[in-house]
Amino acid sequence: MTRIALIVACLLVPAAAGAQQAPPPHDSLRGAVRTVDPRARTVAVTTGVGMALRVVQLRVPTELRVSAGGAALPLTALQPGDIVRVSFGWRPAGLVAYTIERVGRMTDGAGRSP
C-alpha cells in the first residue's frame, strides 16, 4: 500500500540524491503487466490502492532478464496480465527496472500477501 508513496518519493528525491552522490533511490512494486514493448524495452505495470489506480512505466535495460521460478526469460516472455514483482530506480529519463520477477497470472492469483 505504500508503493505509490515510495514511487512518488523516487520522483522527488533525485536532485538531492544527485547532489550527495548517493546511489539512486529505488523501490519495488507488485502489479499486473499492462503492456510490454520489447523493441522499446519498456513495461507498463498497473498498480494502485483501492480504486485509485496508477500505471508505472519502466524502462528495461538490455542486460536485464525476467526471472520466473528461478529461470531467466526474455522480455518477450512477459504477457499482459502477468503479475510481476519489480524493483526499480530513478534515472533522468524515468524509472528503470533493476529486477523483474514473474510471480503468476491475474487469472490464477498469486497469494494474499504481495
Partner 1 sequence: MKPAALTWAVGLALAAVGACRRPQPGDPLPGLSAAQRDRFTQGRAVFDSTFTPATGLGPLFNADGCKECHETPVSGGTGDEVERHATAFHPGGPGRPCDELAAEGGPVFQKRVTPALHAALNIDSEPVSPHATAIAARTTPVILGFGLLDAVPDSVILSYADPDDRNGDGISGRPNRFFDGRLGRFGRKALVPTLREFNEGALSAEMGITSPAVPNEETVGGRPLPAGTDPAPDPELSQEATDQLDAFVRLLAPPAAQQLTSEARRGREAFARVGCPGCHVPALRTGDSPIAALRHREVAAYTDLLLHDMGPQLADICLGLATPSEFRTEPLMGVRLKSEFLHDARAKTLEQAIELHAGEAAGPRDRFLGLPAGDRAALVAFLKTL
List the x/- string, 41-80, binding to partner 1 by CB under 8 A.
---xxxxxxxxxxxx------------------------x
| Of residues 5 and 71, the one with the C-beta less far from partner 1 | 5
Find how far residue 110's CA is from the centre of its chain: 17
Q: Please report, to the nearest 10 degrees, the dihedral formed by the alpha carbons of residues 98, 47, 85, 19 taken in order.
A: 30
Instruction: Determine, following the binding rule CB under 8 A, whether residue 111 of this chain makes contact with partner 1.
Output: yes
Residue 35 CB, shortest distance to partner 1, in Å, is: 7
Nearest to 27 by CA among 4, 60, 53: 4
Residue 112 CB, shortest distance to partner 1, in Å, is: 5
Q: What is the largest CA-CA distance in the chain?
A: 45
For residues 26-52, one letter each, b for 16 or more C-beta atoms within 10 angstroms of the residue's C-beta and e for the rest, the string is: ebebbbbbeebeeeeebbbbbbeeeee
Residue 63 CB, shortest distance to partner 1, in Å, is: 26
Instruction: Determine, following the binding rule CB under 8 A, whether residue 39 of this chain makes contact with partner 1.
Output: no
Q: Which residues bind partner 1 (CB under 8 A)?
A: 1-2, 4-5, 7-8, 30-32, 34-35, 44-55, 80-81, 83, 103-114
